[in-house]
Chain A
Amino acid sequence: MENLRYSEILQQNSAMKEKVIGAPYKVKVLANVTINSLKEILEYIFRINQINPVIEFGNYDNIVQDSRMSAHSDIVIVFVEMLNIVSSVSVFFEDINDGMYNDIKSRMCAEIDNVLENLKDCPSVIFNTFSSTPFVTGSSRKSKITIFTSELNKYLDDKKCPNVTLLDIDIIISQLGIRQAIDYRLFNSSKAPYTLSFFKNYVSALEPIILRNTGKLKKAIIFDCDNTLWKGIVGEDGFNGIDMSATSHDGRPFNMVQQIALFLSRRGVIVGLCSKNNEADVTDILLNHPDIVLKEEFIVIKKINWENKALNLRSISTELNIGLDSIVFVDDSSFEINYIREHLQEIVSIQVPTTIFEYPDYLLRHVYKYFNLTPNDEDSHKTALYKQQFQRENDRKKFETIDEYLASLKMVITIYKDDPSFIQRIAQLTQKTNQFNLTTKRYTESQILKFMEDGDCHVFAVSVKDEFGDNGLTAVAIITADKYNRMNISIDTFLMSCRIIGRNIEYAFIDYIMKWLKKESYQHIYSEYISTKKNSQVISFYDDLGFILLRDEENEKHYSINILDYEMKNIEYLKLEAITNGKNAK
């Protein structure tokens, strides 16, 4: 987007206005400077990601007061610009005495506290870091403004709640250079310090956060092999002719790319290969090449054959049970890249740059944008999990009936209720699960915590173990009681990771919840199905369970059932091992 002119962004943005509809995503921008040119650029980035934004700006330099009325937004973006703080002092900042320095600092800290407090219920807050870069101070001495700024940043970092993301403004300014990023002229006349280039880069930096908040992150990265993972063509140059050495001129960038792939694999991203080659040649390299970093064990899926790549990528999507729009594809050939862009538009295709020395950085920029890189324990062994999955798939063929097979897995499920130690994983599941997801409501960690702390709401999570290993936490249900009628309760969220679909775990889980609700004397259970492009497989989930359809609207089906009418599914071969109750345990 940085390459588009502002007028092009405006045109494309207004052209998309009519097309991108759907639930509005509420954005509030609070600032102590004039940044209204940001509006259309920000709208543009939402719309190209198929999100319908409603963007509102707070009043100029009214951040604290406006933040009180902004907690209902889906995301709040806060710009506190040092240029304006300093200009409001009306004394040369370097010359102020300690008393004044401390006065300004304590005023700023109080403002930070106030804003964070007012926004503590907002699912996502972006706070820009304070920057002294626009103040020319020379590089060999620390100016007062530099010290002041770093103290404020430290304070902000210490005080921020989990719903706050700090966005480092200095990185954006340094990518552009001060003169390209700051417009001193318009700051002086209109308190508008930023250039269009700054806004474009700023919005690009914001994009991964938006994708994460709206559940649009990718799940898999699929690499071609020749001239993508190593220099050379194995079929022509041979095992010894290809280069991926960390110490050679030609091999070094490829070695780094493999390290990036390995890094992704360790964070739970599915790494796969799709290459026109003889499979034996490639496998030999993955197992035996002295310089290979991305070894066989880290690769979840391989399509090494002479079929066309659209076919192969499609079958990767089916076998992994993930959508095409969850896949990133990397290839050096412009033919293959264009073919995929034409045939499978949902896939993000990245072409290896011809200037190979730029390849690792170029790949990394996409990686930061499309993948969730905060590691959790679950992610770090996901590659092993996906491999177990294939083991199970292969075993399935040996059994006559599916029940016989499922029984042989000796599955044990553990249900956790309101257990705060799983907040991160639960939020991640709500953000990433698309297929087996009845309502597709996306929640942040702070929202999950709020459900757990609220006595009228409960968060259930399921982990599944079997013969082949531990699948980890893979299903979530959130229920919310009617505050005015204690007999009524609604199922707000019911979802399951695709990795355990087809094992009747959903029935054991709903049985458990129903038993629990009965015990707690709830009578009427309400539920809904909200249709999306991806969740059609659960369209009749509640019908099959015997829920009564109350209303069938265009994209929503509303149900209820009297708890006494619910017939337990009693899946015999699913063993319920333990129930841990977080709220009572406290």
Chain B
Amino acid sequence: MFGIPHQRREAFDRAALVHVPELLRFASRLCGGVEAAEDLVQETYLQAWRSFHRFAAGTNCRAWLYKILLFTYSAQNRKRARQPFLVDLDAAGETALLVDVPTPDAFTAKAVRVAFDRLPERFRTLVLLVDVEGLTYREAAEALDVPIGTVMSRLNRGRGLLRRELARHAPDSWTGARSGMELSTQRRARS
């Protein structure tokens, strides 16, 4: 489609570079530092450029870039860790399903950050994609290469875990935690 090199480059710049700010923010939160994030985003764009011949114009460039970024990040981590990358979607966060903790009445930005940092990475990534960067469930499913149902259930767990962590550190959260325990008991009684 973009046969002439400069046309191909112009098309790439037009479609992809507009997403640098949000990818950079996302990568900074993912990596926990700006310097590593800048390297990750640059590598993402180089990878995207190398495979741009396969990108179909009119499809979702944003989700495509997130997908490359997440794979690049995973590949770098695996390289560092020298061990296979394990994708276990269901092992963690089971308690978030059992205990539906209401949101505390009062919380600070710092408490939110602490609670977020305590989430397992798979949930943190998805909460970042959808609740912070505003990707739709479909875009997040594309970016993570998982079915949309997996996105929904994992998001549900991630948000539940976030509320639980927030309630755990909020001083007036006893009422909420008790409600959660009651709900858990009710569910167990039904099953």
To the question of whether A and B form a pair in one complex, the answer is no
A-binding residues in B (CB < 8 A): none
B-binding residues in A (CB < 8 A): none
